Chains A and B, each alone.
Chain A
Amino acid sequence: MIRFEQVSKRYPLGHGQRVVLQDVNLEIARGEKVGILGRNGSGKSTTIRLLSGAELPSAGRVVRDMTVSWPLAFGGAFQSSLTGRDNLRLICRIYGKDHEDCIDFVSDFSELGAYLDEPIRNYSSGMSARLAFAISMVIEFDCFLIDEVVAVGDSRFHQKCHEELFVKRIDRSFVIVSHDTEYIRHHCDIALVLRDSTFHRFSSIDEAIENYVSN
C-alpha cells in the first residue's frame, strides 16, 4: 500500500509559488494497476516523485509499506559519464545487490555488446532506453512507477519490456502516468485524471479516458 494523506505539493517560483497538488488523497493497494492521465504540466511527474519518495510533500503525509521503484526506464537516474557497466555497479551498490549476479541479464537484455563498456553519453537514445530498462529490472520492487510509455526503441524492445513487466511481474503494483490513453486502457485496473491540482476518480477506465479526452 502507498497512501497520500492530504498531500499538497508547491514549488516556489520567482514570484509566488506554483501549486501542483492540493490536499489530495490516494491509495495504491498491493497488486493494483493504477493509471494517471494528465496533460503536460498537470503534475504527473511530481506525483511519481512523491510516490517514490525522491521528493517530499509540502504538506500532508505519504505512507508506504511497499518498496517502490524509481521511475522506470528513466535515463536521468544514471550517470552519463560512466559506462553502462559502472552504472549497473552503482545501482547495485545503492540497493545492496551483487552486480555479478545481474550483469548477464543486463548484457543479454540490453543487447549492448561492447557498448556496455562505453560511457552512456555515447549511446543512442534506443541504447540508453534498453540499458535503463534492463537495470530497472535488476532490482525487485513491490510497486513499479512508469513515467510515460517507453517511447523509444523498436517493437521487439517493446515486446521484451512487456514480457518483463506485465507478464513476469504481473503480481506487483504499477502506477503508470501517461497521456497515451490506449496504453493505460490495456495495462491498468483503474484510471485517475489529474487536473487542477487534484485527482478525479471515475467508475471505469473508459469513463476516465472519455473525461480526459473531452476536457
Chain B
Amino acid sequence: MRRELNSSLSQSWAIQRRIIFALVMREALTRYGRHNIGFLWLFVEPMIFTIGITIFWTFTKAAHGSDLPIVPFAITGYSSVLVWRNIPGRLSNAVLPNVGIMHHRNVRLIDIYFARLLLETSGVSMSFLFLTLAFWVVEWTALPEDVLQVLSGWLLLNWFGWSMGLLIGSLSEQTEIIEKIWHPATYFLFPLSGAAFIADALPPAFRDFVLWLPMVHCVEYIREGFFGSAFVAHYDLGYVVTCCCVMSVAGFLNVNYVANRVVLQ
C-alpha cells in the first residue's frame, strides 16, 4: 500500500520508472552540476582512473603472468574493479542525504538505490566501451574476439556489483561498522580480484583460494571473450550465478527491512 491509491502493477511500474528517472536526473545534477563538462564526468572520471592504471602498468611492465597485451589487460581489469568497488561505495549511507526527498511518499529507498546503480553502471560501462574503442582506433588494442561473451561477462559482473551494493548499502544503514570494514576490504580485495593477474599464472593452491571470489570468475570470463584462445581461463559461471542469486535475495530482503524502518527526522 505504499504506492498511490488502487494502483495496479503496471501503474506502480510506471510510477517507479518516473521516480527513478527523476532521481537519476537529480543525482546527475547534484554530483556533476552544469559546470564545465557536466554529466560527462559520469564516464570521464572512471576513464581517467583506467587510463592512469593502463599507463602505469604499461611502463612498469606489470607482472601479470602472461604475454597478453597489457593495454586491453589493464582496461578489462581495472574497469572490473570499478564495478565491484564503486557500486557498493555509492550505495553506502544513501539515506541521510536523501531524507528530504523521501518525504514524498512514492520515493522509496529502493528507488534511490536503483537510481545510483543505474548511474554507476552506465558510467563504468561507457568508460569501458569508449576506452576500448579509443585504444583500438590508435591500434593499442584489438577488439574482443567474442563481443557477446565480453558483454555477458560484463552483465554478470554488474549483477554481482548490484547485489553486493544492495547488501552493503542496506547493511550500512544498520551499523556503522559495515562502511568502516568495506572500505579497507576493497584495498585487500583489489590485488586478489583478478584485475592484475590471470588465474592460470597463480600456484594452484592460491588459485583455488582466489576463485572463492566471484569477481575473479567474471574477469576471467570477460578476458576469455577478449583474448580468446590466447590463455587458459578459469571460471565457473554456475558458481557466480549462485552467489549473485543468494546475495540479491539477501540484499532485497534487507533493503525492504531497512526501508520499513527508515526514520526521516
Give Cα A86 to B27, complex, Å.
Answer: 12
Number of residues of chain A lying within 8 A (CB) of chain B? 33
- In this assembly, does B12 line the interface, its C-beta being within 8 Å of a C-beta of chain A? no
A76–B21 CB distance below 8 A: no
Q: Which of A87-105 contact B (CB under 8 A)?
A: 89-91, 93-96
Tell me how far the C-beta of B11 lies from the nearest C-beta in chain A, rounded to whole angstroms: 11
Give Cα A78 to B102, complex, Å.
Answer: 10
Q: Which of B104-112, B191-199, B233-241 contacts the other chain?
A: B104-112
- In this assembly, does B10 line the interface, its C-beta being within 8 Å of a C-beta of chain A? no
Question: Which of chain B's residues have a CB closer than 8 A to the CB of A45?
Answer: 265
Give Cα A61 to B18, complex, Å.
Answer: 27
A76–B99 CB distance below 8 A: yes
Tell me how far the C-beta of A113 lies from the nearest C-beta in chain B, rounded to whole angstroms: 20
What are the nearest 5 A-B pairs in CB distance? A93-B22, A53-B105, A77-B103, A76-B100, A70-B103
Q: Does more than half of chain A's interface fall in helix, strand or loop, or is it mixed?
A: mixed
Q: Which of A75-89 contact B (CB under 8 A)?
A: 76-79, 81-82, 86, 89
B102–A81 CB distance below 8 A: no
Question: Which of chain B's residues have a CB closer than 8 A to the CB of A53?
Answer: 2, 105
A67–B19 CB distance below 8 A: no
Query: Can you sample 5 A-B contacts with CB below 8 Å?
Result: A11-B263, A52-B103, A79-B26, A94-B19, A96-B18
Task: Tell me the B residues contacting A by CB distance below 8 Å.
Answer: 1-2, 4-6, 15, 18-19, 21-22, 25-26, 29-30, 99-107, 260-265
B30–A81 CB distance below 8 A: yes
- In this assembly, does A55 line the interface, its C-beta being within 8 Å of a C-beta of chain B? yes
Give Cα A37 to B264, complex, Å.
Answer: 21
Question: Which of chain B's residues have a CB closer than 8 A to the CB of A66?
Answer: 5
Question: Which of chain A's residues have a CB closer than 8 A to the CB of B5?
Answer: 64-67
Give Cα A70 to B99, complex, Å.
Answer: 13
Give Cα A59 to B106, complex, Å.
Answer: 21
Tell me how far the C-beta of A35 lies from the nearest C-beta in chain B, rounded to whole angstroms: 21
Give Cα A74 to B105, complex, Å.
Answer: 14
Question: Which of chain B's residues have a CB closer than 8 A to the CB of A91?
Answer: 104
B105–A77 CB distance below 8 A: no
Q: Which of A16-47 contact B (CB under 8 A)?
A: 45-46
Tell me how far the C-beta of B173 lies from the nearest C-beta in chain A, rounded to whole angstroms: 12
Tell me how far the C-beta of A128 lies from the nearest C-beta in chain B, rounded to whole angstroms: 12
With A54-B104, A93-B21 already in contact, 14 other A-B pairs whose C-beta atoms are closer than 8 Å: A56-B2, A66-B5, A70-B104, A76-B100, A76-B103, A77-B100, A77-B103, A82-B29, A86-B26, A90-B22, A93-B18, A94-B22, A94-B101, A94-B106
Give Cα A78 to B260, complex, Å.
Answer: 22
Tell me how far the C-beta of B192 lies from the nearest C-beta in chain A, rounded to whole angstroms: 37
Question: Which of chain B's residues have a CB closer than 8 A to the CB of A81?
Answer: 30
- In this assembly, does A138 line the interface, its C-beta being within 8 Å of a C-beta of chain B? no
Tell whether A82 pairs with B30 under 8 Å between CB atoms, given A55-B264, A65-B5: yes
Question: Which of chain B's residues have a CB closer than 8 A to the CB of A90?
Answer: 22, 25-26, 101
